[in-house]
Amino acid sequence: MYGYFDRIKDNRRATGALDPLYARILVLEAGGQRLALVTLDLGRTFGLSSLTALRQTLSQQSGISGLIVTASHTHSGPNILDEYPGSQLPPWEATALGKIEDGVAEACRHLANVRIGTGYGSVYIGYNRRQVKSDGTVQMLWTNPTRIPTAPVDPTVSVLRIDALDGRPLAILVNYACHPVIFGTDNVQYSADYVGVMAEIVDHAFGDQPLCFFLQGADGDINPYDATTPLAAGAIQKRDWTGRQLGNEAARVAKSIQTLADPEGELQLSEDTVPVAVRWDPEKFRLGLLQAFGPKVFEDHADLFAEHAPRQLDLTVTTFLLNRRIAFVGMPGEPFVDFQVDWRSRCPVRDAFFLGYTNGYFDYFPTIRAATEGGYGAGDSDTYVAVGTAERMLDLGLERIYGMLGRLHELPEDLVTEK
């Protein structure tokens, strides 16, 4: 199973499914562009080779010109690697990819004219788990059942609603930032965590007709209040409470949205590769892993450690503008919540959605300040991209949105001759 090293180290494997894991698929088409959005109830997206193969197949079979694959980051799903021994995918992953290909083809056969609208709400189900003390050191707060206020957090619930022209809801996209980690290491059953409960609440509020999509935000330092609750201490009940809080607010917002048709609908998508240096000294990093985990664990799980081994990295920043008024930026990892707040405040359009775990996975993206302070996700071995990586990606996303809006020009203004 994915998400907790202790569970991997002890070779604890899944015994069944507590609730289903879904891939939800939405296809949008405008101006000759066809975009597929795939949200996964998984800890991370598939590896680069799997995503590349999926992209090629969808282009050939379904005419998909743009692909956004994003994961909820549940820690109760199957483990995923960038590369598998012998390049042989595990059977479940090969099956899932095949189902996604079929699902995209099915969605393309049911394209219809739509109306779109957005709305916003607020709910507190989580807290910032990094506590910076007065002396500048960081203490990790792994669970917070007494609801101690911490900062920064972003309680914003961003909702995108898509209706048929007759007003019948077809899809509701919910964007929020919080780790799906109600279940801890003792749980060995697959679960979408609170995200699955949230989706059921939203679907039920609309007569079980729309398909609710969860878009995980910048949750790198945000935990739910009842994180890692043991099963014997009521983890299922706490999962349900958390999902209901978010689901009820998302449903309330969705019901209040007035959708509109845009006869000049437009899709603009940019996928940019950002070359990034690794953060750690290669030899010191390897020796540190050996010392921390011991030679046996290091050898037994060499495939996992290899993903974090220092190397030159190529990260994809995904930027998407819908109808020139709804902007999305996606990063391939776990950005800290500051980036989500920053994106919304700096984006040139009012409706700005931030997606983590998108089109790849490179672990944590701390802010520059957090990287200097340390703590989990900021100064440990699960943070291996160069300091400042997310700042670069965010700036590039903003640049792309401005360019899509026609507000960046190829010539200096003093060289442009007005006619």
Percent of the chain having pLDDT more than 70?
96
Same domain, 282 and 138: no
Same domain, 162 and 286: no
More confident residue, 127 or 298: 127
Same domain, 52 and 131: yes
CA 370 – CA 94 distance, rounded (Å)? 38
pLDDT of residue 302: 66
Does residue 30 lie in a domain region? yes
Q: How crowded is residue 190: how many other Cβ atoms within 10 Å of its Cβ?
A: 21
Does residue 261 lie in a domain region? no
With a cut of 90, say whether residue 339 has pLDDT above it. Answer: yes
Q: What is the DSSP string of 284-308?
A: HHHHHHHHHHHHHHHHHTHHHHHHT
pLDDT of residue 310: 57
State the average pLDDT over residues 254-261: 97
CB 408 within 8 A of CB 402: yes
Residue 200: give the domain boundaries. 5-256
pLDDT band for 167, please (50, 70, 90 cuts).
very high
State the average pLDDT over residues 315-340: 98
Mean pLDDT, the chain, rounded, equals 93
Same domain, 233 and 289: no
Same domain, 167 and 28: yes
Interval 228-253: pLDDT, tens: 999 999 999 999 999 999 999 999 99
pLDDT of residue 10: 74
Same domain, 247 and 284: no
Same domain, 247 and 287: no
pTM of the model: 0.94
Same domain, 218 and 335: no
For residue 256, what are the contacts with CB-CB under 8 A and spacing of at least 6? 119
Q: What's at 108, amino acid-wise?
A: C
Does residue 322 lie in a domain region? yes
Interval 6-48: pLDDT, tens: 877 777 889 999 999 999 999 999 988 999 999 999 999 999 9
With a cut of 90, say whether residue 305 has pLDDT above it. Answer: no
CA 57 – CA 36 distance, rounded (Å)? 12
More confident residue, 210 or 234: 234
Same domain, 280 and 238: no
Strands 334-335 and 364-365, by their bridges, are parallel
Same domain, 215 and 115: yes
For residue 193, what are the contacts with CB-CB under 8 A and spacing of at least 6? 72, 74, 75, 76, 180, 181, 182, 183, 239, 243
Task: Report how many domains make up the chain.
Answer: 2
Interval 216-231: pLDDT, tens: 999 999 999 999 999 9
Residue 190 corresponds to which tokens in the numbers above?
């697959």
**Single residue among 226, 256, 286 that ends a domain in this structure:** 256
State the average pLDDT over residues 257-269: 95
